[in-house]
Amino acid sequence: MDVTTDEAAAPWLVVGLGNPGPEYAMNRHNVGFMVADLLAGRTGGRFKRAARAQAQVVEGRMGPPGPGSRRVVLVKPMSYMNLSGGPVNALREFYKVPLSHVVAVHDELDIDYGVLRLKRGGGDNGHNGLKSMTKAMGAEYHRVRCGIGRPPGRMQVADFVLKDFSSVERKELDWFVDRAADAVECLVAEGLERAQNTYNS
């Protein structure tokens, strides 16, 4: 696919998916928020309420200093997971971000805990945040998929994703979130193929 000069120069919209509120902060479903918070810290920014959408945003840059750096808007929708698409699309239109420069960072049931996979486009696999984003703007955005594994035994998926990471999982959680943030930076600065080759496991 050819990329126009305008598209190449456009900012990136990096969306961490999760649910607002302290009761959800350490849920498996909130790993996207965790990655977004870490990326905000790396850019030296703090999340602030967006004027034009039900979301928090940080504006900054990613990549090497100089002409290689990319303008980035980090987003945490504050609408709850199943309504994420509205705020994300409103910000995408406000910042004039092409769909090819949108990245969703989210939990993924069909990947083992601690494993990352990056791709562009595809289905939502029952993930309500992705479902809402796709309904609002189409499916051809990038995804950084953070594996959380399947629920044990007969536990319902909804119960599993809305529980905190286990004590065993928390031992590796900082490393996992850090690696996912690295993958986002690589995707934005160097492209999907390079990021996949480096971080898909």
List the one residue out of 138, 115, 113 whose CA is nearest residue 124. 138
What positions carry a catalytic annotation?
29
Beta bridge pairs of residue 56: 49, 76
Collapsing DSSP to helix, strand or coil, 76 comes out as strand
The encoded tokens of residue 24 equal 């959800």
Q: Tell me how far the alpha carbon of residue 119 is from its chain's centroid.
A: 12
Contact 133, 88 (CB under 8 A): yes
Contact 104, 117 (CB under 8 A): no
